Amino acid sequence: MLLILLIPVAAGICVYQFHPVFLKTTVVDQEFKEEFQPEKNIFCVVGAKASQVKVEGSVDTSKEGNYYVEYQFRKQKKKVEVRVKDTKAPELTVKSYTTDLSEELKPELFVEEVKDASEVTLRFEKEQKFTQSGTYDINIVAEDAAGNTTVKTAQAVLKKDETAPTIEGAEDITVLQGKTVDFQAGITVEDDLDPNPVLEVENSQVDLNSPGTYTAVYTARDRSGNETKLERKIVVEKNEELDQKIVYLTFDDGPSENTGEILDILKKYNAKATFFVTGNNQEHDDMMKRAHDEGHSIGLHTYSHDYAEVYASEEAYFKDLQKISDLVEKVTGEKSHIIRFPGGSSNTVSADYTKGLMTVLTKKVQEKGYQYFDWNCDSTDASGNNVPVQQLVQNATSCTSQHINILMHDTDAKDTTVEALPKIIEHYRAEGYVFKGITVDSYSAHHGVNN
C-alpha cells in the first residue's frame, strides 16, 4: 500500500504552489477500528516527498468521534478533521436448520458466522410461530452497535416429531445385597430431533438391602411428548457376610520369612486372612504363592512402598500399582482388585508430595474396578519392632464391631506379631467370629480422607 502511495508523489510534479502541501480533503471519513493512514490524504508536496510531511495529533479508531490532526511541513501547518464512524454492516452467513415443531427457535440456530468491528445482536425480522411441518424462509437480522444491519434469509425445516427416544445400556444387573447401584450409569438416551430428551428412573420398588428380583422402570421423553418405557431387571443377591460376624486378619508389607510361620498358624486354626504385599522382598514370593494357593487373599499395597515415590503424583501411584499388580498376577496366576494404601486412605504424608491426592486416588481406584481397604482395629505392631506380645494381643482383641479388619504386618522384624496371632484368633473364635479373606465386595472399613 505504501509503495502505491509514494510513486505518484515522488514522480508527480506540482507546477503551481501557494502552500507546498496539497491534501485531498480537510475532513477525513475514517472507518471504525480500521487503521488510520494520514499519508493517504496527501495529494502531493511541492519539491519534496510525502514522507517528509509530519503529522501531529492522534486518532483513536476504537472510539467513534471527531479528532484533529495537523500536517506540518517547513513551518506550515494544515489542520484536518478525522471523523471516526462505524459504517460497515455485519458480515452474516446463514444456514438452514432442521428441528421439530416444539423447539423454541432462536436466530443463533440459523447463523453460520457473523463478523463485525463491534458487538452484534441477532433477531428475527418478524417473530413467527410455526405449527405445521414444512420448509420456511426466515429473515435473520444482524445489527451492530452503531445500528448498521444486514438481513439474510435462512431456511427452517420443521418436522412433526413422531419418533420416541431410544434407551441404551439398561441391561439387567445383578448386585450384592447392601451395595449401591448408580441407575443412570452407562445409560444413553437419544432422539432424532430433540438433542436433550429427559430420562426418568422409577426405582422405588428396588430394595438393595433385601435379596430378590426387582424392576426399575426407565422412561425417556422428547420435548414433543413421545415416550419410550422399558423395564430393567435388578437381581439383589444375598450377601452372606452381612449376617456374619467376621474378622479380616490383614498382614501388610510382606512377604518375608515370617509369612511362612503365619501361614502355618492360619492352617492350624483353619482361618483365612489377607496379605497386602509389596515388591520389596521378592526372594519370598513363594510365600505369596503359598498364601494364594491355601485360599488366602492377596492384595496390592504398592510395589515400592516408598511414600515419596508412590505419592509423587496420580500417575506415579497408578504406575506403581500396575507394577505390583503385574507381579501378583505373575506369582499367583490371578489378578488382584483389592488395595491397601501405604499409610491407609487417611494418611497425611501424601500431602507432603501432592496436595489432595488421596481424595483423587480413593475415587479413581474404584472407578478402575478396585476397592481399597483400611482397618478398624489396630494391633499397633507398626509402632515399633518387638512390641510385646501381651500388648499386641490386648490391642488386637479390643474390637467388637460385626466386621473387624485387623491391621498387622508380616515383615521379618515382626516376630511378636507371629507370637500374638494364635491368641488373637482364639479370642475372636470364642466370640463367634469367622475368619475370612477380603474380596472386592467385603466390608471395606474406609477411613476419612485427610488429603
Pick the closer one to Zn ion by CB: 198 or 312: 312
CB of 250 to Zn ion, least distance (A): 10
What DSSP state is assigned to residue 183? Answer: T
Rounded Cα distance, 357 and 336, in Å: 22
Pick the closer one to Zn ion by CB: 138 or 438: 438
CB of 305 to Zn ion, least distance (A): 6
Q: Does 253 bind Zn ion (CB under 5 A)?
A: yes
Reading the block at residue 437, the C-alpha cell is: 479373606
303 touches 278 (CB < 8 A): yes
Reading the block at residue 17, the C-alpha cell is: 504552489
Residue in 86, 100, 191, 252 binding Zn ion, rule: CB under 5 A? 252
Cis peptide before 255 (omega within 30 of 0): yes
User: Are β-strands 149-159 and 166-168 bridged in parallel, bridged antiparallel, or unpaired?
Assistant: unpaired
Query: Under rule CB under 5 A, which residues in 91-120 are in contact with Zn ion?
Result: none
Burial class (CB in 10 A: 0-12, 13-18, 19+), 394: middle
From 13-21, 30-38, 133-141, 251-259, span contacting Zn ion (CB under 5 A): 251-259
Pick the closer one to Zn ion by CB: 332 or 347: 347
CB of 180 to Zn ion, least distance (A): 29
User: Is 409 a known active-site residue?
Assistant: yes
- Residues in the chain, how many? 451
From 31-39, 75-83, 234-242, 253-261, span contacting Zn ion (CB under 5 A): 253-261
CA distances from residue 428 to 249, 268, 381 in whole angstroms, order as listed: 11, 15, 18
365 touches 399 (CB < 8 A): no
User: Is 252 a known active-site residue?
Assistant: yes
CB of 215 to Zn ion, least distance (A): 45
CB of 340 to Zn ion, least distance (A): 7
Rounded Cα distance, 83 and 68, in Å: 9
Which listed residue (86, 161, 191, 252) is catalytic?
A: 252
Pick the closer one to Zn ion by CB: 144 or 410: 410
CA atoms within 13 A on the CB side of 278: 19
Q: Mask: binding to Zn ion, 321-360, rule CB under 5 A, as x and -?
A: ---------------------x------------------
Looking up cell 514522507, which residue turns up?
51
Pick the closer one to Zn ion by CB: 165 or 344: 344
Residues that bind Zn ion (CB under 5 A): 252-253, 342
Catalytic positions, written as ranges: 252, 409
